[in-house]
Amino acid sequence: MSPVKVLFIGDVVGQPGRKAVQQLLPGLRTRWEFECVVANGENSAHGAGITHSTAQELLNAGVDVITSGDHVWDQKEAATLLEKEPRCLRPLNYPAGVPGNGSFVVARPGRLPFAVINLQGRTFISAHDNPFLAVETEVARLRKSTPLILVDFHAEATSEKVALGWMLDGQVSAVIGTHTHIQTADERILPNGTACLTDAGCTGGQAGVLGREWAPVVHRYRTGLPQRFGICETDVQLQGCIIDIDDATGRARSIHRVIEKLPPA
């Protein structure tokens, strides 16, 4: 049986990031024949938050599931989006009663479904319910129907991301980190078959600071004064990773990083 090919797209930042997905994803999907495409879209609207229209742009471009993190609530319409669109996730470990869902199952007719879980860390980031405890219950529930499970762990500390990968080794297909916007070079498959990458990177302008223009960021660091961080529109890239997963066991067979440059207009 052929492996399940999954593309994970790192944090999409603003209009440049959405443009990269719209223009580059169709070709990537044709070239690699992805079964599922997951993108972190919490910064897809003006560089902070997500809206109905920006989510729809990503879904129309071929993204199957949109994950998020600590900026998911930055746009006021986020709550209604999460209630109406189950393919858009907020972290699983938010308190009970918060709008939206922390996981989604992609149906694959005639084959095992593919599940996506969204988590948020607690180290150096907003505190929520313990992600290590919350994910255990959700993984156990999902494994009753499929071993094909990907976790987007939106967290600041590399240690927290690496630790979750080890805890879930053999229980999920992949643990992919987001939030820090810098693609790391530590992709690997753990002994029991879970693919891990500490951070998938940033889909957007690279000639700045984490997808924003560099000058106001530098001014903020120099002076300590508030600044408006504009969106970087130069050297736009789609960053992420491709994971090959055994369709029967859910064990990852390979993982490699992706950097695709958007040609200049």
Which residue type is seen at 157? Answer: A
Tell me the mean pLDDT in the region 102-121: 96
Both tokens of 210, joined, read 């984490």
pLDDT (mean) for 27-45? 95
- In the numeric block, which tokens belong to residue 191? 């002994």
User: Residue 137: what are its φ and ψ, rounded to 5°?
Assistant: -65, -40
Neighbours of 66 (CB within 10 A): 29
Q: What is the mean pLDDT of residues 179-206?
A: 98
Question: Which entry of 71, 128, 179, 181 is annotated as an active-site residue?
Answer: 71
Residue 75 pLDDT greater than 80, yes or no: yes
pLDDT score at 126 = 81
Residues 247 and 227: their CA atoms lie apart, in Å, by 48
pLDDT at 187: 98
Let me know: does 5 contact 244? Beta carbons within 8 Å. yes
Task: Give percent of the chain with pLDDT exceeding 70.
Answer: 100
Q: How confident is the model at residue 1 (pLDDT cuts 50, 70, 90)?
A: low
Domains of the chain: 4-261 (3.60.21.10)
Confidence tier at 128 by pLDDT (50, 70, 90)? confident
pLDDT at 234 over 90: yes
Strands 236-245 and 252-261: antiparallel
Task: Give the torsion through C-alpha atoms of 11, 15, 19, 22, to 10 deg.
Answer: 70
Range list of β-strands (E), the chain: 4-9, 11-12, 36-40, 65-67, 103-106, 114-120, 149-154, 174-178, 188-189, 195-197, 202-205, 236-245, 252-261
Say how far apart CA 77 and CA 238 lie, in whole Å. Answer: 26
219 belongs to the catalytic site: no
Give yes or no for residue 265 having a pLDDT over 80. no
Mean pLDDT of 89-100: 95
Mean pLDDT, the chain, integer: 95
Q: Is the pLDDT of residue 127 over 80?
A: no
pTM of the model: 0.96
pLDDT for 264 equals 80
